[in-house]
Structure 1
Amino acid sequence: MLAEQLSAALAAREVRGTRRRLLLGDARAAAHLAQCIDFSSNDYLSLSAAPAARAAVAKQLARGLPLGSTGSRLLDGDSPAHTALETRLAAAFRAPAALLFNSGFDANVSLLTTLPQPGDVVVYDALVHASMHDGMRASRAQTCRAFAHNDPASLDAVLAALDVRTANVFLALESVYSMDGTVCRLRELVQVLARHVPEAGRRCVLVDEAHAVGVYGPQGTGLVAELGAYDDADVRLVTFGKGLGCAGAAVLCAPLVREYLLNYARPLIYSTALPPPAVAAIDAMLDVLAHDTQRQAAVHARTRRMYAALGRAVPPGPVPPAPIVPVRTPHAKALAAHLQRAGFLVRGVTYPTVPHGEERIRICLHANNTDDEVDALAAAIHRWDARAAL
């Protein structure tokens, strides 16, 4: 019986300690967590509740926007506001064209299910997001092969072992990896690809900028912009639910790719379009970032302070470290509970979200975190380490 099979699967996860639950189901626990200092969310620039951002969104909503778009973009859900935002995004991110999606997950699935053609090859960083894996599972590509995380030598070896003489070759990357906080070695990886696939027309580099938007680049336009590497990324995914504190996503690409996605990307074609209030919120957040140059600097300062407070060296590289600091421990849930009792909202991340042996807490720094808060969190971690050593 189906119900028995589903119950057995959940019970097995319960025994392994991997069963997922909504975190706020317990009202008492929820009340405590609401009072904790946020070192968990992806709201890196602290924009989701910023007064200036809220005022900008309220001004947009005061125009009497309908609550829903009432249909897909290709039916009744399109509007001048959607088109105007795409035009603005293309200009702001220095891209030929932009296409809105309801989420980064939908966008990644769309890209990897539609762009690779039969016989093509996808090589991808071993730590790319689950949405890319879902897209590759349904892809028409002949081969999808991982290379070791952020490792040009591994990519070189993978490409050397594949027949890429005639196929289109897709390189799938994230600019900032959400669990490790690693910053992509974009230029080195693209150079490796170009050596194996000299014809530019057969190369396509997909860069998921979800955790870089807001954090890097002029006015938060991402790592590609920070590096000035526009020619290295053929397609960029930018999302607005993290650094910009609202919701939605956009694919930045050539006009031909945009038209192709409009015709073949099922998550876009068959979904109700992003609602007008969400479109207005993205537009308002872009206004805030255009006039607020301090938040990005603040989050980088807090990140460097966290590294120092934990006694770690700042990772080398051409840009500041990402505001995601993992602390690996096989007792991630226990450490997270210890920190929550101390008043810090930090989550344990365990299998199956990360592989066995890679359990950790994931500290996210925000523009609004204070130096004292950062130091206090680090001190609480050190206390745990001292107790665990006894």
Structure 2
Amino acid sequence: MLEAQLQAALTRRERLGLRRTLQSQGHAGLVDVSSNDYLSLSRVPSIRQAVADALADVRIGSGGSRLLDGDSPLHARAEARLAAYFGAPAALLFNSGYDANVSLLTTLPQPGDIVVHDALVHASMHDGIRASRAAAVRAFRHNDAGDLERVLRGVLEELDATDEVQAGRRNVFLALESVYSMDGTVCSLRALAGVLEKFAPRGARHILVDEAHGVGVYGRGGRGVCEALQLAHVPSVRLITFGKAWGCAGAVVLCPPLWREYLLNYARPLIYSTALAPMQVAAVLCVLDALERGDVDEQIATLHTRTRQLYAALGRPYVCDPLPPAPIVPVYSAQPLELAARVQRAGFLVRAVRYPTVPRGEERVRLCVHAHNTREEMEQLAAVLAAPDASL
């Protein structure tokens, strides 16, 4: 019975053209404009050698959860260095950004609290919110401070919670991404934080910013969008992931020390998972070494140059002031699979993104620029996309 039900669900997805499959073969020789390795650090020889040298001195696996046998001086040293680099009071390593977001949003909002979030936040935030203890969860239109104000006013009236929030008996959480992974838009953090200030006093308002696609790309030494906007003090929590621009794996939550202790005691994905492998922690530290020395500054500058060149070649404006455009460039298409296949035949690795990852009617091919890409590649890619049958 179950097998029939599972097969029926897959068949239905197949019929709708939505069935997902692994695509790990057949892309040798294609120009990568798909992966999240924005700074191309996973292929930098000096970093690769540093990681290889570091692995000689660390265990492959951690052997248990952080609270049992998986903790080590290496984990503690990494957290201390990451907290110092990002100017945060404390840091806590997680196996992934997904685990971290689920942990934050299932544990931090208390019974009776309110969570508002940008409509385009990552699936991991949605999963955490769904399992949270918050009294109300509401979405507002992407990057729209006016709609956030409307939503907040409405939910406070609905719960008759205005006085309780002002008295600090209820908290309001605002969940955001610094760079949105499918659209490449940069968070309007200053305007959104200003709205939140109108409704909740300092101790009762908390902003969670997922910097997964902003860290490494923006800010001094790649410290992220919050730092670039000189607003690193505004979020209560910043989530830094290592699987994108850092070219590694894992994540770290930057937060107050009390929140770190609370997560250690209540975050189930952390408590009941084997700790981040020492070999991964060592790799993260090697990248951090390079960032601290300024060795990655050239890659960051090149990435922004290539992104601007792609926008110019596409003839598309970008509005990202005061920051450069993000290296995520969506190309909307009514036939994203066909467009992706044609671009791949022209020599570029791209991916179609469809419902349910993005809303119906917003299907696209998602382009990601990298520091190792060339100006010529950006111009050639734009020429392929500009062909008459590109369905832009």
TM over 0.5, yes or no? yes
1:180 aligns with 2:183: yes
Q: Secondary structure at the match of 2:87?
A: coil
CA contact (8 A) 1:262 1:268 kept: yes
1:266 aligns with 2:260: no
1:62 aligns with 2:56: yes
Percent identity between matched residues is 62
CA contact (8 A) 2:339 2:390 kept: no
CA contact (8 A) 2:173 2:208 kept: yes
Deviations 1:75-101 (A, max 9, x none): 000000000000000000000000000
**Where does residue 334 of structure 1 map in the other structure?**
338
CA distance in 2, matches of 1:96, 1:227: 19
**Where does residue 353 of structure 2 map in the other structure?**
349
Which one-letter code corresponds to 2:97 in the other structure?
G
1:162 to partner: Cα distance: 1.6
Q: How does 1:89-100 map to 2 (within 5 A)?
A: 89-100=82-93
CA contact (8 A) 2:95 2:251 kept: yes
1:299 aligns with 2:303: yes
Match of 1:40 among 10, 34, 41: 34
CA distance in 2, matches of 1:353, 1:243: 21
CA distance in 1, matches of 2:113, 2:81: 33
Which 4+ stretches in 1 moved above 6 angstroms? none
Q: Secondary structure at the match of 2:173?
A: strand
Match of 2:80 among 77, 87, 91: 87
**Where does residue 247 of structure 1 map in the other structure?**
249
Q: How does 1:309-320 map to 2 (within 5 A)?
A: 309-320=313-324
CA contact (8 A) 1:207 1:236 kept: yes
Change (3 A) 1:362 1:176: same
Which one-letter code corresponds to 1:150 in the other structure?
N
Q: How does 1:97-176 map to 2 (within 5 A)?
A: 97-163=90-156, 164-165=161-162, 166=164, 167-176=170-179
**Where does residue 4 of structure 1 map in the other structure?**
4
**Where does residue 359 of structure 1 map in the other structure?**
363
1:314 to partner: Cα distance: 2.1
CA distance in 1, matches of 2:62, 2:131: 28
Deviations 1:235-263 (A, max 9, x none): 00000000000000000000000000000
**Where does residue 27 of structure 1 map in the other structure?**
none
Deviations 1:296-328 (A, max 9, x none): 111111111111000011224211111000010
**Where does residue 71 of structure 2 map in the other structure?**
78
CA contact (8 A) 1:52 1:288 kept: no
Backbone CA RMSD of aligned residues: 0.9
CA distance in 1, matches of 2:43, 2:139: 38
1:388 to partner: Cα distance: 5.3
1:196 to partner: Cα distance: 1.2
1:58 to partner: Cα distance: 1.2
Which one-letter code corresponds to 2:356 in the other structure?
P
CA distance in 2, matches of 1:4, 1:230: 51
Which one-letter code corresponds to 1:277 in the other structure?
M
**Where does residue 224 of structure 1 map in the other structure?**
226
Q: Secondary structure at the match of 1:34?
A: coil
Q: Where does structure 1 lack aligned partners over 5 or more consecutive residues?
A: 25-29
Q: Secondary structure at the match of 2:42?
A: coil
State the TM-score, normalized to the length of structure 2.
0.95
CA contact (8 A) 2:173 2:207 kept: yes
Q: Secondary structure at the match of 2:116?
A: strand
**Where does residue 382 of structure 1 map in the other structure?**
386
1:45 to partner: Cα distance: 0.1
Q: Where does structure 2 lack aligned partners over 5 or more consecutive residues?
A: 165-169
Deviations 1:47-90 (A, max 9, x none): 11210110111121122x11110000000000000000000000
Q: Secondary structure at the match of 1:194?
A: helix
